[in-house]
Structure 1
Amino acid sequence: MRGINHAFLCGLLEGLRADTVDALLVPRTGGCCVALHARRSPDPSDWHRT
């Protein structure tokens, strides 16, 4: 079931173009195994000029 939940949330986020949120598998006892997390802001030092 967790694979279906994960796929659903990934598709939902993609459809919403929510590129600042990730759906991550976070298995735990007695609860849902998919969590939504904010993506880490890119470090400006990682940016490359082309």
Structure 2
Amino acid sequence: MKIGDREDINWIGYNDKTPLDTALVSEADEVSDWLRSQGAKSWSELPRCP
């Protein structure tokens, strides 16, 4: 999912973590809730290429 013109809410970055993964590990509950409301997924929820 894209937010704005270029941002990908499920971008996989450092240590194969999405923004949601980082928020969950950091126990940032409000951020995690907002990300989920915007359609964010954790790395484990994203489809994989074979």
**Fold match by TM threshold 0.5:** no
More strand by share: 1
TM-score of the pair, normalised by structure 2:
0.33
Q: Which has the larger radius of gyration?
A: 1
Q: Which has the higher contact order (CA 8 A, sep 6+)?
A: 2
TM-score of the pair, normalised by structure 1:
0.33
